[in-house]
Amino acid sequence: MNAYEQYMKELAQPMRSELTNQGFESLETSEQVTQYMENIGPNETAFIVINSVCGCAAGLARPAAVTVALQNDKKPTRTATVFAGQDKEATETMREYIAQVPSSPSMAIFKGKELKYFMPREHIEGRDIQEICMDIKDAFDEYCD
């Protein structure tokens, strides 16, 4: 690992921890993503956060919107995160499951293996945090038991 890669890893670790401290599973390899996604039960919901170090990830998507949304009565049975720019292969593999325009940060909800909801970066950046939280909570209400 070169000095730049080490610096970025150290910079990203507290941001990764913001989600793992909330119970998110950190998926750091392509194999971990595949195993996680293939093991979502048909009646389970999974909330996936594609994390990043950009300003809208730090200020809006994580941890504020995620933390508030997870206080909802209905919430996913599983949560996981991949870190764009850090876990490149894992992020690419996750994006294959999402099959939307790649963006980070972004958030997705799966019911079983079916993508039910996707919030791309352009629906995060520049918006009020309350609007983002309400969108996520509405998606939880619709797709989570």
Nearby residues of 131 by Cβ (< 8 Å), 6 or more positions away: none
CA distance 89 to 7: 19
Cα angle value 72/60/129 (rounded, 5°)? 60
Catalytic residue among 56, 61, 82, 108: 56
Size (the chain), residues: 145
Is residue 54 annotated as a catalytic residue, yes or no? yes
Beta bridge partners of 110: 46, 115
Looking at residue 145, the DSSP 8-state letter turns out to be -
Contact call for residues 76 and 47 (beta carbons, < 8 A):
yes
Catalytic residue among 8, 54, 58, 129: 54
Contact call for residues 36 and 108 (beta carbons, < 8 A):
no
Is residue 144 annotated as a catalytic residue, yes or no? no
Q: Give catalytic residue positions.
A: 54, 56
